[in-house]
Amino acid sequence: MSIDLEKNKKLILFDGVCNLCDASVQYVIKHDKDDVFRYTTLQGEVGQAVIKKFNVDTNKMDSILLYSSEDGISYKSSAALKIASKLGFPRNLMTVFLIVPAFIRNWVYDFIAKNRYKWYGKKEACMIPTKELRSKFL
């Protein structure tokens, strides 16, 4: 399967059964005023195609990825901060944390990701987008 992404769009791949991930996607949708992002679950067909194309080790990376045809793939805290950079003021100020070395940022990210089900819960199935949002999901 190919990854069909519109030009100048970025694809957020997220854990479709994670309540924190779902809430984060809903937040991005609400604040994505320039319609930059498209969405898919890591568990879905498109998500699995991206994982395969970039040989992502899902044992080490299981919560968020950011893909664009121009920039390739970003992981963990780098993905989250690059997403924030496109959400306008004041959220875009979060990119200042890119100066922090990735191993420190990712330690914090991994701690939250490791505990996300315990703290926020888990769904039995991936979210189903509303009719209005369906065009944003691959």
Report pLDDT digits (tens) over 50-70.
889 888 887 777 678 999 988
- Lowest-confidence range among 85-94, 102-111, 128-137? 128-137
Query: Residue 124 sits in which domain range?
Result: 10-128
Q: What is the number of structural domains in the chain?
A: 1
User: Is 5 inside a domain boundary?
Assistant: no
User: Is 119 inside a domain boundary?
Assistant: yes
User: Is 133 inside a domain boundary?
Assistant: no
**Local structure of residue 33 (DSSP, 8 states):** T
pTM for the model stands at 0.87
User: Is 106 inside a domain boundary?
Assistant: yes
How far apart are alpha carbons 45 and 4 in whole angstroms? 12
Average pLDDT, the chain: 88
User: Is 137 inside a domain boundary?
Assistant: no
Q: How far is CA 61 from CA 42, 57, 90, in A?
A: 10, 6, 28
User: Is 2 inside a domain boundary?
Assistant: no
How far apart are alpha carbons 63 and 134 in whole angstroms? 21
User: Is 4 inside a domain boundary?
Assistant: no
User: Is 136 inside a domain boundary?
Assistant: no
